[in-house]
């Protein structure tokens, strides 16, 4: 396949950079074809702050070079995700008169644009995504698609996801220094939700939790709407630190213990009482007790989910969400973490499982939650091609907002303007 037949997505985290490659075209069963998943250590980002631009740009550059060797062609552009740091949700509502006329594509475009214009303080923010939550016709609310209805007044509630432009600008420089062009920047918790949550979960009320290295971020869905997000400044690196201190060993050995031997499950059958880990630096085999490892790690994991409950209560006034928790991110791969999460929160907890009806992995893949975000970026771009490359500056006129002309389209007859972006008029 030629280079213009692939999409590339890169997810930059606090401990590593992840890269995913997929075909722009679906297979014969309408599945996204994922061709490569790669990861490289990188420590130039800490809690959303770039601490070493050179180091993290070099990691991206080296990871892209590795990917190029695998797929056999050069990579010049990528999609990226922006996480929750510095992100704000802005709700607004707009309306237009109809004078008894039937709602057209242009009417929906105008009412969404009117709603966006009324969002507070957008001139000082960078818009990542804007989503129509619902429409209203006269005195009737909660309409998902107003096309074809007749009335006097059409209204629209809109959620605009914005970021600090300085943060986005510096984050983008990582990829410019790695000699990559950015196709688009997407709000990662939203696109990951689109991949990992079904419509029932979004309706009931579900919390998508991304267990990262230095932070734990989350996004909350209820009544089919994304109602909020947050970040907890504790991640899986604290588990590693606790293990290093408790076991009196190095950080590198503690990380190996966490990834390969730590099991938080209460099912002790088939679990060894102890195990050996070889340290290549000292050329020594160390023996560790499984029970002590479980104790040290469990205490920190319990703290993470207690902090999550505290955050949820402070922001939403409740901690009970019928749809439960869905865990993604590197920390979600810790054995038994779902049991601990369920015990602390009292909520159902679900593992990261990719739908075989939607995704086809060309490579051997074990549903590693580490790659959930990068796979989600690709999935969203392929399923919503009308949005990618969209000029989201609402202060331009609707006619002047254009998209990247060289980006693929599933349907070349899709409407232009906001309506194509929103999915109407297809």
DSSP H helix total and E strand total for the chain:
11, 19
Q: Give the sheet arrangement for strand 6-12, strand by strand.
A: 181-187, 77-82, 6-12, 16-23, 32-41, 359-361
| Residue 261 to residue 85: CA distance in whole angstroms | 32
Same domain for 176 and 50, yes or no, is yes
Asked if 316 and 375 sit in the same domain, the reply is yes
Percentage of the chain surpassing pLDDT 70? Answer: 89
Q: Is the pLDDT of residue 120 over 90?
A: no
Q: Residue 413 falls within a domain, yes or no?
A: yes
Residue 225 and residue 98 in one domain: no
Question: Is there a single domain that holds both residue 81 and residue 91?
Answer: no
In a domain, 266, yes or no: no
For residue 326, the enclosing domain spans 3-85+167-234+301-382
End-to-end Cα separation, the chain, in angstroms: 29
Question: Under a CB-based contact definition with an 8 Å cutoff, are residues 343 and 369 in contact?
Answer: no
Query: Do 43 and 171 reside in the same domain of the chain?
Result: yes
Q: Are residues 76 and 189 in the same domain?
A: yes
What's the domain count of the chain? 2
Q: By CB neighbour count within 10 A (0-12 exposed, 13-18 middle, 19+ buried), where does 279 fall?
A: middle
Q: Are residues 49 and 94 in the same domain?
A: no
Rounded CA separation 327/307 (Å): 15
Q: How far apart are CA 40 and CA 54, in angstroms?
A: 15
Q: List the CATH number of the domain containing 64.
A: 3.30.420.40
Q: Give me the pLDDT at residue 426, please.
A: 42
Q: What interhelical angle do 290-316 and 337-345 show, nearest 10?
A: 40
Task: Note whether 92 and 125 are same-domain residues.
Answer: yes
* pTM for this predicted structure: 0.85
Structure tokens at 204: 């009931």
Structure-token pair, residue 413:
């007859």
| pLDDT tens track for 70-105 | 888 899 999 999 886 778 888 899 999 998 889 999
pLDDT of residue 2: 59
Any domain includes 291: no
């Amino acid at each position: 396949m030629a280079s213009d037949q692939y999409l590339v997505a890169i997810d930059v985290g606090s401990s590593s950079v992840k890269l995913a490659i997929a075909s722009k075209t679906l297979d014969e069963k309408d599945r996204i074809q994922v061709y490569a998943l790669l990861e490289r250590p990188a420590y130039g980002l800490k809690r959303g702050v770039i601490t070493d631009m050179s180091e993290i740009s070099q990691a991206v550059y080296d990871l892209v070079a590795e990917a190029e060797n695998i797929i056999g062609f050069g990579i010049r552009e990528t999609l990226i995700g922006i996480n929750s740091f510095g992100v704000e949700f802005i709700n607004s509502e707009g309306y237009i008169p109809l004078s008894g006329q039937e709602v057209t594509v242009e009417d929906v475009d105008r009412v969404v644009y009117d709603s966006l214009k009324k969002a507070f303080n957008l001139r000082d923010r960078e818009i990542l995504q804007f989503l129509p939550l619902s429409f209203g016709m006269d005195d009737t609310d909660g309409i998902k698609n107003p096309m074809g209805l007749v009335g006097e007044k059409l209204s629209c509630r809109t959620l605009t996801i914005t970021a600090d432009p300085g943060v986005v600008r510096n984050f983008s420089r990582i990829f410019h220094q790695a000699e990559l062009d950015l196709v688009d920047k997407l709000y990662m918790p939203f696109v990951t939700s689109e991949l990992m949550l079904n419509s029932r979960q979004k309706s009931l009320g579900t919390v998508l939790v991304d267990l990262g290295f230095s932070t734990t971020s989350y996004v909350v869905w209820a009544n089919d709407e994304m109602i909020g997000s947050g970040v907890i400044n504790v991640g899986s690196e604290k588990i590693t630190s606790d293990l290093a201190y408790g076991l009196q060993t190095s950080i590198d050995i503690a990380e190996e213990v966490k990834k390969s031997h730590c099991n938080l499950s209460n099912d002790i059958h088939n679990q060894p009482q102890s195990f050996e880990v070889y340290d290549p630096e000292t050329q020594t085999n160390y023996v560790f007790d499984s029970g002590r490892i479980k104790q040290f790690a469990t205490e920190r994991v319990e703290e993470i989910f207690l902090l999550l409950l505290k955050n949820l209560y402070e922001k939403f006034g409740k901690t009970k969400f019928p749809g439960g928790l869905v865990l993604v991110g590197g920390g979600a791969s810790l054995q038994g973490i779902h049991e601990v999460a369920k015990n602390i929160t009292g909520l159902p907890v679900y593992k990261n499982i990719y739908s075989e009806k939607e995704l086809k992995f060309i490579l051997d893949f074990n549903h590693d939650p580490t790659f959930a975000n990068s796979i989600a970026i690709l999935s969203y771009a392929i399923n919503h091609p009308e949005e990618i490359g969209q000029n989201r500056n609402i202060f331009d006129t609707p006619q002047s907002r254009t998209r990247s002309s060289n980006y693929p389209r599933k349907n070349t007859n899709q409407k232009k303007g906001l309506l194509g972006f929103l999915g109407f008029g297809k």
